Amino acid sequence: MKTAYTADQIRGAEHELMARLPEGTLMQRAAAGLAAVCADLLGRVYGKRVVLLVGSGDNGGDALYAGERLARRGAWVGAILAGSKTHEAGLAAFREAGGRVVDRGSLEGADLIVDGLVGIGASGALREPYRELVEEANAVRGPIVAVDVPSGVDASSGRVEGAAVRARVTVTMGAYKTGLLVDPGADYAGRVELVDIGLGAYLPDPDVAALASADVDVLLPRPGNESDKYRRGVLGVAAGSDLFTGAAVLAVGGALRAGAGMVRYVGPSEPVTQVRSHWPEAVITELDRPSIDDVGRVQAWVLGPGLGTGEWAHELATAVLASDVPVLIDADGLTLVSRDRALLRRSAPVLITPHAGELARLLRADRDAIESARLEHARRAADELGVTVLLKGSTTVVAEDSRPVRVNPTGTSWLATGGTGDVLSGVAGALLAQGLSCYDAGSCGAFLHGLAGRLAADGAPLAAADVASAVPAAIRAVSADGA
């Protein structure tokens, strides 16, 4: 599992460690790791042109000491001193190794640019001269290596307000920062390389975490010798309408592919016909009234995909949410809940799976504000609504009160197509029915769904049904990687 921390958490750990080490030790460790990554990118160091963007703080010192090491290996290294002050010892060592102070004109033709302008404590939009210098660096051809976080990216949230460095690689010191795992910051960070400087024993509980294949492999339910379809989890799916029949087909398909022992589908005649045609395995109850009295026992429900938002749908949602089992609410179900929050007053667990627009309606917030601060709003929703929140998007996050937010590391932009969210509902719902908590079902469901999307797309467009079909392959891949 990859864990990440806020700027305050990192600074607290650094303070404890520095009190036990000779002065300057952490900076030298950081500089050595930074120089090694730069050298690897350059391939042959001797004769290459490296330009350092040096700010006032410790990141500037890291860059200068790394520049010193590269200069001693024969690189031409220039430093643009952009801050109101400069790390004096670092600058002296840099000059002694043959490094030189240069102007912005040196950016053109650089084989590598090292961004040491601002560190993890910075927030908000970059000020001059940093903003203009960042835009100039982004405009030239040389790849950029960012020190700790790209300048302009908030280390604690991933927010970007204005200009920010677009790094090929970010070399982060001691531990991952939250803003490197969450968009938009993650998009600016490029590949992230972690340099161990000895912080591990001093770090608190993480701010966010990202599951790896091995973690998912451990969490996934597996059938045993005495398993039967009931022990493997029975999922109820209340989805689809005469207008949106496909949502029911996709949600049921996602659930069956993710290992539910049985799927009980309930809905009106049109989606019933489609589900029966596509998935004869499903046990189907055609509803002539919005009731679940005759459905039979289930271990969890998926509520909402394509259900509609009229009175009939509201009555069915009320019946499902009056049950005593976990419920995953998606799509039209979220619209119903946003109009009638009293539906969420239940003792059994709830997992909601909104995109930013749906969460905006639930929180009476602005969609753009949610997109720019995904962690903040997912946490707020979990706290205010008393539910587990799976916020879909370029970075999918799973938030539950008093737990580290889980950030999903899998996925592909090809998943941005209609119906894939319905498949995700089915996958996560199946995991709920098999006994996982909302927190684990949401996290593992998002991981498998994203991985299935990658496998199905393979660099080309996909349809939602392709994702459902690829879920078993994703489960196999997780098991192979976790072995």
Lowest model confidence (mean pLDDT) among 88-92, 179-183, 212-216, 229-233: 229-233
Which residues are annotated as part of the binding site?
58-62, 115, 119-125, 130, 148, 151, 247, 306, 355, 392-396, 421-422
Domain 2-206 in CATH: superfamily?
Answer: YjeF N-terminal domain (3.40.50.10260)
Kindly state the average pLDDT of the residues 104-123. 95
Question: What's the Rg (C-alpha) of the chain?
Answer: 26
Kindly state the average pLDDT of the residues 289-296. 94
Q: Which residue from 183, 198, 121, 248 is spatially nearest to 409, judged by alpha carbons?
A: 183
Which residues are annotated as part of the binding site for K(+)?
59, 115, 151
Q: Which residue from 271, 272, 321, 260 is spatially nearest to 292, judged by alpha carbons?
A: 321
Highest CATH level, class, for 213-482: alpha beta
Residue 310 identity: G
For residue 456, pLDDT over 90 is answered with: yes
Give the pLDDT confidence of 325-339 residue by residue, as tens digits: 999 999 999 999 999
pLDDT of residue 480: 81
3 or 231: which carries more pLDDT confidence?
Answer: 3
364 or 481: which carries more pLDDT confidence?
Answer: 364
Which residues are annotated as part of the binding site for (6S)-NADPHX?
58-62, 119-125, 130, 148, 247, 306, 355, 422
For residue 230, pLDDT over 90 is answered with: no
Domain chopping of the chain, boundaries: 2-206, 213-482
Q: CA torsion angle for 340, 342, 343, 346 (degrees, to 10)?
A: 170
Task: Give the three-state DSSP class for 77.
Answer: strand
- The pTM for the full model equals 0.93
C-alpha of 476 from chain center? 22
**CA pair distance 443, 438, nearest whole angstrom:** 8
pLDDT of residue 372: 86
For residue 222, pLDDT over 60 is answered with: yes
Task: Give the three-state DSSP class for 171.
Answer: strand
Q: Count how many residues are written for the chain.
A: 483
pLDDT of residue 482: 55
For residue 24, pLDDT over 70 is answered with: yes
**% residues pLDDT > 90 (the chain):** 95
